[in-house]
Structure 1
Amino acid sequence: MHLNIFTVLIFTLFAEGHSLKCYQCRGPLGQCVSKEMTCPSGDAVCASQITVESIGAASTSIQMKTCTQPKECFNGSINYGITRSALTMKCCNTDLCNSRDVSDTSSNTPNGKQCYYCENDSCFNKLNCLGSEDHCIEVKANSESTSETLKGCASKTLCDAVSQIPQYGGYSCCQGNLCNSAKSITQNLLILLSWPFISYIMFH
């Protein structure tokens, strides 16, 4: 009996000793105060990221650190024309390895691709995609009283990542210039209301 208890105790201590520990925080650039956390999953990694939210010429940078899954570690951006969100993320797999802040490495340089975006009741405005935005995206956001369509440019990595989140309901990504017109969208994936889904990935 005592041997069994001892064996269970050793196993528990061993498991706890090998649970990955990461820093966790969320806040504006330079104000992300970190604390330690133990990852709930054995295959987790530590992540450090910066998200740059742009509305017109104004931008805000948000830092995050936490545990996440390897498949949820990516860089990319989504661009709705008036608003754009760009994520730079680095992951590692040793205790407290995400101590360093990451710098924004997203590009604002046009890459030659174009997608439609919505503005002033028209969703056939042409948008020049930037950086790694190599896909077009269309989002249909429905509520009890309104229905809204969003269109723009997105990175392939973002399209792939969102397809892993079952809580969202119907967005479409496609590849090719101006492929997100009403007639050309054929994929029914998941709904992406705006960039805050990144927060869902990082903190759930």
Structure 2
Amino acid sequence: MYLFFLISGIVFIPQAYTLICNECSTFGSTCESTGSQCSEATRCATLRMLTYSGNTEEFDHMLGSCSKAEHCYEGSFNTGVKRNFFTTKCCDTDKCNREQPPLPNIKSNPNGKKCYRCDGVGECTGTVNCDGDQTYCATGQDGGETVKGCATKSMCFNPPPLLPAKLKTLKCCEGNYCNGSSGTTASLLLLTTMLLSLLLLSN
């Protein structure tokens, strides 16, 4: 009898609700698709990626997909030459992720933090004045070239899966100029070599 009730319960228990979200990659302002079922995610999201050179917009791209609630936030990475932002807009009903997230606040609001930046191949001795909640110095790779600058905590430790790989592999640290510079590294290496040479000659 127990086995009968167990089997009946399994058969008649309604299937668990699975959220369906729009999947898109567009330069437009709306995200529409046939929809995709989310396996673990509890939110539908649109993520807007923007790149500025100074105050001039160079890139504005929107992605839509399933998302976890912990990835519904904003973030930025400032290399001094380029400023990269992402904003997200999340919701919890089927295919609700149609609208483009709002523009980020791109106004400069220096917070006193300073990090190294790269002004050319191997030249990473410039300074970036960090803005707003950019409280970390970061180093990353872009097309095989090293980039350095200021980043928000979200970019460093919990980047949304929808971000491109180059913005999900930043190595971050706290403290002014903690992201090093090629010039400083080279100087230390030269100094160490000279000291070792002197020690060997003195023996």
Shift of residue 77, structure 1, vs aligned partner: 0.6
The equivalent residue for 2:150 is 153
The equivalent residue for 1:65 is 64
Choose 1 or 2 for highest CA Rg: 2
Shift of residue 65, structure 1, vs aligned partner: 1.7
Once residues 114 and 88 of structure 2 are traced to their aligned partners in structure 1, the CA distance between those partners, rounded to angstroms, is: 25
The equivalent residue for 2:172 is 173
Q: Which has the higher helix share?
A: 2
Once residues 24 and 140 of structure 1 are traced to their aligned partners in structure 2, the CA distance between those partners, rounded to angstroms, is: 27
RMSD: 3.5
Contact kept? 1:107, 1:131, Cα under 8 Å: no
Once residues 68 and 32 of structure 2 are traced to their aligned partners in structure 1, the CA distance between those partners, rounded to angstroms, is: 22
Asked if 1:117 corresponds to 2:117, the answer is: yes
Q: Which has the higher strand share?
A: 1
Uncovered stretches (5+) of structure 1, i.e. residues with no partner: 185-204
Figure out how many residues of one structure are paired with residues of the other and give that number: 175
Once residues 92 and 32 of structure 1 are traced to their aligned partners in structure 2, the CA distance between those partners, rounded to angstroms, is: 13
The equivalent residue for 2:29 is 30
Q: Which amino acid aligns with 1:88?
A: T
Shift of residue 110, structure 1, vs aligned partner: 3.2
What does 1:94-133 align with in structure 2 at a 5 Å threshold? 94-112=93-111, 113-121=113-121, 122-133=123-134
TM-score by structure 1 length?
A: 0.68
Cα deviations across residues 103-143 of structure 1 (Å, max 9, x unaligned)?
Answer: 112333132322110112310101122333221102367x9
The equivalent residue for 2:139 is 138
Once residues 67 and 162 of structure 1 are traced to their aligned partners in structure 2, the CA distance between those partners, rounded to angstroms, is: 15
C-alpha change, 1:99 and 1:148, in structure 2 (3 Å) is closer
Shift of residue 24, structure 1, vs aligned partner: 2.2
Percent of counterpart pairs with the same letter? 28
Q: Which amino acid aligns with 1:23?
A: N
Asked if 1:50 corresponds to 2:48, the answer is: yes
Contact kept? 1:108, 1:131, Cα under 8 Å: no
Shift of residue 161, structure 1, vs aligned partner: 0.9
C-alpha change, 1:62 and 1:163, in structure 2 (3 Å) is closer
Deviates more, 1:130-139 or 1:168-177: 168-177
Secondary structure of 2:158's aligned partner: helix
The equivalent residue for 2:196 is none
Uncovered stretches (5+) of structure 2, i.e. residues with no partner: 186-203
